[in-house]
Amino acid sequence: MKRALVTGGAGFIGSHLVEGLLVRGYQVRVLDNFATGRRENLARMLDQIDLLEGDVRNLTTVHTAMRKVDVVFHEAALPSVSRSVANPLESNEVNITGTLNVLVAARDAGVKRVVYAASSSAYGNTLVLPKVETMSADPLSPYAISKLAGEMYMRAFAQLYGISTVSLRYFNVFGPRQDPNTQYAGVIAKFVTCALQGKPYPVYGDGEQSRDFTYIENAVQANVLAGETPIEGAPVVNIAFGARATLNQLIALLNELTGQNLPTQYGAERAGDVRHSHADIARARDLLAYAPAIDLREGLRRTLEWYRKQ
């Protein structure tokens, strides 16, 4: 039986990944300090996992979490571009120092594979679309810089210590359990909540900015494949659906799915936000046999259904 550690396993993506690993017969340990993760995300799985409450910034804690582990899925991070603009030091500590601690502890414990939650924000405002992994990075925010630094540590540890690493550059992952109630919430979590409450959609800018929205099950599939596929080196891999939609198109789709015609409130653009995001997923297909099955429309339908039940 394979033994996995999921850092940040109580978070939105992390908890779905824990669920996916359990279904596939993994023994799972979760390390989370519940800063942004939520206990209720793990409530149905508590009797099946080994839960360790602690912070990736504490190397001793991470060493404890790493005992007898075959593969690590490093999801723990302080998400959000705007949060990092407001508090760059904290983003740096959690996302860079935390990642380095995970790698040091993995090296010391003899872990074979580390799968890292990287971010499409590393690309910045590239004029060329879709974004492909061979492009040079151009991070625009402390968050994006911290995520890119994590990728570089993954590569260095692979070269220096022989740990196999894979960095998955997520593009706007969405779905059930995403918290809509923080100021840093993902746009779909916010918009779905507005749709269900009959409130106007808040948009920063003109709504023509576009994103490659990735349903959570596609991201879980990518992680499991990245944990199990024999891979050389320390590749960086885009994880997305491979199509883009503008925020205005997203709003039209939500209105259609809910049978409404709610208005949009346009405001000023936000510092550090990327204008367009669209992934080339050829490398994910070739390297991992990744095949995203759920498109934006179906993902939204499932997400609406889940939020309605809450």
List all residues 6 or more positions away from 247 whose beta carbon is below 8 Å from its beta carbon: 187, 203, 207, 208, 209, 210, 211
Number of domains in the chain: 1
Q: Which is catalytic among the residues 143, 153, 215, 307?
A: 143
pTM of the model as a whole: 0.95
Whether 33 shows a pLDDT value over 60: the answer reads yes
- Specify the DSSP class assigned to residue 238: E
Range of the domain at 11: 3-173+215-241
pLDDT of residue 248: 96
CATH number at residue 75: 3.40.50.720
Our answer to whether residue 307 is catalytic in this structure is no
**256, part of any domain:** no
**289, part of any domain:** no
Q: Is 142 exposed, middle or buried (0-12, 13-18, 19+ CB in 10 A)?
A: buried
pLDDT tens-digit series, residues 127-137: 899 999 999 99
pLDDT tens-digit series, residues 260-288: 999 999 999 887 777 889 999 999 999 99
pLDDT of residue 169: 98
**276, part of any domain:** no
**144, part of any domain:** yes
Helix-then-strand count for the chain, H and E: 11, 13
Structure tokens at 201: 């959609």
Mean per-residue pLDDT of the chain: 95
Q: Is 8 exposed, middle or buried (0-12, 13-18, 19+ CB in 10 A)?
A: buried
**146, part of any domain:** yes
Closest alpha carbon to 116 in 65, 83, 157, 57: 157
Question: What's the gap between Cα 282 and its chain centre?
Answer: 19
**71, part of any domain:** yes
Euclidean distance between CA atoms 195 and 261, whole angstroms: 9
- Specify the DSSP class assigned to residue 229: S
**224, part of any domain:** yes
pLDDT of residue 239: 98
pLDDT of residue 185: 65
Angle of CA points 208, 209, 214, to nearest 5°: 120
Structure tokens at 89: 């030091």
Residues, the chain, total? 310
pLDDT tens-digit series, residues 136-188: 999 999 999 999 999 999 999 999 999 999 999 999 999 999 988 766 568 99
- What sections of the chain are H helices per DSSP? 12-23, 59-65, 81-86, 88-92, 98-109, 142-161, 187-197, 216-228, 247-258, 282-288, 296-309
**83, part of any domain:** yes
Question: What's the gap between Cα 236 and its chain centre?
Answer: 14
